[in-house]
Amino acid sequence: MLDTSELTAAVERFADRLRAAPQSRLQRGAAAEGLALARELALWTQRIEEPEEATSGAGRVMPDAGVFAVADQLLVAGTDLAEALRTAPAGSREGELGEAVRLVREAAGRSGL
């Protein structure tokens, strides 16, 4: 099993920053960046857990629940992906963990938070 604590910590840090951000900052793009990342992580989890459905184009898209919900959406999507990667067969997803952490850190940087 993979140690996904680095991914979980990165997601939690970004979600905490989104929660603490003022509404004006969220509306200037931070929330959009968080939602885009949450959607990407959710689709990634779907490809791991339901590969037939995700590759057929039937993947579900996380809805836009507003700027104040983005932190929670990101936390759920990131936690789900960490669990999917952690429980994947040994050695099958190791490279993806580093990629996921990189994506979270880059999105946090682009958000300006």
User: And the tokens for 67?
Assistant: 């700027």
Per-residue pLDDT, 68: 97
What is the Rg, in whole angstroms, of the alpha carbon atoms belonging to the chain?
14
Residue ranges of the chain whose pLDDT lies below 70: 53-58
Tell me how many domains the chain contains. 1
Phi then psi for residue 50, to 5 deg, are -135, 65
Per-residue pLDDT, 45: 94
Q: CA-CA distance, 65 to 72, in Å (whole number)?
A: 10
Per-residue pLDDT, 56: 66
- Alpha helix (H) ranges present in 1-113? 5-20, 23-25, 31-49, 51-55, 70-87, 94-111
Phi then psi for residue 3, to 5 deg, are -90, 105
pLDDT in tens, 41-65: 999 999 999 877 656 666 789 999 9
The residue segments making up the domain with residue 59 are: 5-111
Per-residue pLDDT, 32: 98
Per-residue pLDDT, 4: 94
CB atoms within 10 A of CB 76: 17
